A and B are shown apart, each in its own frame.
Chain A
Amino acid sequence: MPPLTLRSRLRRSIGPDIDGYFFVLPTVVIMVCLIVYPFGLAVWYSLSNAFIGEETKFIGLDNFRYILFEDDIFLLTIRNTLLFAVISVVVKVVLGLLCAMLLLRIVRFRRFLRGAMLLPFVAPTALTTLAWWLILDPTYSHINWMLQHVWPFSLFDLGPYLWLGNPTLALSSVIFVNIWRGLPFFIITILAGLVAIPDNLYEAAEIDGATTMQKFWRITLPLLRPVLAVIILFSTIFTLADFNIVYVLTRGGPMNETHLFATYSFTYGILNHEIGLGAAIALFLFPILILTVILLLRLVRRDSEYEL
């Protein structure tokens, strides 16, 4: 039996990697000093009748009851946000994977092409959304002009579309702009993951007679999994909390068909000062998301590494 020194006892209760604490120390210090209080307060707001500048009182889940059962716009907001997030993320994952694989193989103009793909994400968000507002303008949309005057579209007499005024088109436009802006995130991060996969794995598979599809499913995807899981999670969170696009393009209209959690929460919380309601709306998916995060972390950490 190994001697029961302090060190070995520590090791048994804490785990083999005690020095891990030093690795995470700076992060913990920063987060505890700066974010624990605001985070706790935000959660508290959702359970209180908080009104900016007034005293707050705990009211339990009353805010949630109000938004679910009395407020008639919130249910629409749930539908909008879920549609928005699911469609956006799925499209971004699929297109991101495809485009990253294309970008991987090119040799000429590599820097330019990869840079071009990155632009929508790195350009100032507030300003590119304004540009999209012009492009989708109700009166003088660039796209409508193109459909009417530019060959081959002009052959089909495609009527002027109300990109931001028709409920279905408005939600589609908002989703489209989100995809436009978020796709580079996927492309570049997946590309970084693809680049790390060594060639000899593919060579070995080829020698064993694997097809392209088999190579993709058996080699590429499993090795990408940790990275893919993390960025899908991030993208979902970012997309669910997206504020800017709707705020600039439609402000929740037409008739609340594009209101998302973030914009509706803003209306209640900041414009009307009812922070309790605003917090309840913003944190509506909080429990589900925490669960997802925990599960995902377990998944990523448990992922077995490949053998060389």
Chain B
Amino acid sequence: MSSSEPNSMTTGGGAALAVNKAPMWRLRKEIANYVALIPYIAFALFPFYIIAITSIKSKQEINNLGESPFWASGIAVENYTYLATHTGFFEHWMVNTLIVTTVSTIISVSVGTLAAYALARLKFRGVEFFGVAVFITYLVPQTLLFLPMINVINAIDEVIPIRDTYWSLILTYPTFLIPFVTWLLMGYFRTIPVEVEECAYLDGCSRLSALFRVVLPMAVPGIICAILFSYTLSWNEFLYSLVFIQDETAKTLSVGVFTELIRGDIYFWGSLMAACLLGTLPIVILYSFLMDYYTSGLTQGAIK
């Protein structure tokens, strides 16, 4: 499998076009590209700047609203240390959330990939019904679905105590992750030409090994999307975590932060914003690992 290089020319799409044009034109086009991106970047990052600044403001500064809200004089580390000393942020919540998210993602992406392949390629009785049925649960919003879900979790709890542990979440998160992964990957699998698979069959591959050896490598960007978004949806999930777990030590990140840092009408803004930044970190780290594979290098190689 070809490895990816950051400066590869095969970025797909337009880069290949520029090969024959004058270098000056190419440079101008490149700069124009970056300039066009500036509004998007500013739009995306502006609130994070405010989050970062607020997280290093002292309590007094946060309340001193005559001054510029865009600058902090000095760094109030106590906002961050409060998280470590007065809340179970690092020792409990972060760990719980990491476990739940990772396991749920692994389950959902594996199971979803198989189902997506069936939906995308295979013809058998009931495949359309299956596709619709898998999706239908999405049409019931969580704010309604969580109530009957509690009955299910309680029933399981009679045999294996999963209430107040992260297992209750590991069981329920796939219910909304799998439909998502399935449909998302179905879309990506459809963009892969059938001919490539047929070549593999001619070479004597079984369906399953064709899936693993040929289709999946070509669908890697799609699978990365699925992993990334599964991770994100699990990480940010709030309602199930709230109603299934109340034990302080078993809570996940968002719920725990809300419980500790919002008390009546008093908001601990500095620590809340610090928690937001720290809570983003794991996914950003995951993303930077995955991004190396997010190029078309593999796709190109397979076709040629």
Seen from chain A, the residues whose Cβ lies within 8 Å of a Cβ on chain B are 13-21, 23-24, 26-28, 30-31, 34-35, 37-39, 41-43, 45, 52, 95, 99, 101-107, 110-111, 113-128, 130-132, 134-135, 139-140, 142, 145-146, 149, 180, 183-185, 188-189, 191-200, 202-203, 206, 220, 223-224, 226-231, 233-234, 237, 241, 243-244, 261-262, 265-266, 269-270, 275, 278-279, 282-283, 285-286, 289-290, 293-294, 297-298, 300-301, 303, 305-306, 308
Contact = CB atoms under 8 A, between A and B. Distances in A.
Given A42-B148, A117-B40, A227-B191, A282 B119 contact: no
A44 B291 CA distance: 44
B47 A125 contact: no
Nearest to B174: A30
Which 10 interchain pairs have the tightest Cβ spacing? A38-B148, A192-B221, A20-B122, A127-B276, A230-B187, A17-B122, A41-B148, A23-B118, A15-B124, A226-B190
Given A18-B124, A195-B12, A134 B152 contact: no
Interface residues of B, number: 120
Given A106-B34, A140-B69, A275-B147, A243 B283 contact: no
Contact of A111 (B11, B152, B291): B291
20 contacts: A24-B115, A24-B130, A37-B151, A41-B151, A45-B144, A102-B37, A113-B41, A115-B291, A126-B257, A127-B257, A128-B51, A146-B70, A197-B13, A198-B296, A226-B188, A231-B187, A243-B142, A265-B141, A301-B128, A306-B193
B68 interface: yes
A34 B178 CA distance: 12
Given A37-B148, A122-B287, A192-B294, A30 B111 contact: yes
A6 to B, nearest CB: 16
Contacts of A43: 140
A120 B232 CA distance: 11
Contacts of B44: 116-117, 119-120, 180, 183-184
Given A42-B148, A126-B236, A297-B119, 13 more contacts: A23-B115, A27-B115, A38-B140, A99-B40, A105-B30, A124-B280, A142-B70, A198-B296, A227-B191, A228-B187, A230-B184, A294-B132, A301-B190
Contacts of B6: 107, 110-111
A24 to B, nearest CB: 5
A124 B50 contact: no
Contacts of A226: 186-188, 190-191
Contacts of A120: 44, 47
Contacts of A234: 138, 180, 183-184
Given A110-B6, A195-B295, A196-B221, A123 B48 contact: yes
A279 B183 CA distance: 25
B235 A124 contact: yes
Given A13-B125, A131-B47, A131-B51, A290 B14 contact: no
Contact of A107 (B7, B115, B229, B296): B7
A116 B54 CA distance: 19
Interface in B211-264: 218-219, 221-222, 224-225, 228-229, 231-232, 235-236, 238, 253-254, 257-258
Given A14-B124, A41-B151, A127-B279, A30 B43 contact: no
Interface stretch (B75-83, B159-167, B267-275): B267-275
A85 B125 CA distance: 35
B238 A102 contact: no
A301 B171 CA distance: 30
A141 to B, nearest CB: 9
A301 B131 CA distance: 10
Contacts of B47: 120, 128, 131-132, 135, 180
Contacts of A31: 133-134, 137, 175, 178
A31 B145 CA distance: 14
B140 A283 contact: yes
Among A24, A28, A52, A203, residue most surrounded by chain B Cβ atoms (within 10 Å): A24
A281 B115 CA distance: 31
A145 B189 CA distance: 48
A126 B280 contact: no
Nearest to B43: A180
Interface in B52-82: 54, 65, 68-70
A124 B253 contact: yes
B106 interface: no
A282 B143 contact: yes
Contacts of A117: 40-41, 44
A192 B178 CA distance: 19
B53 to A, nearest CB: 10
A183 B27 CA distance: 28
A237 B140 CA distance: 10
Contacts of A290: 132, 136, 139
A244 B238 contact: yes
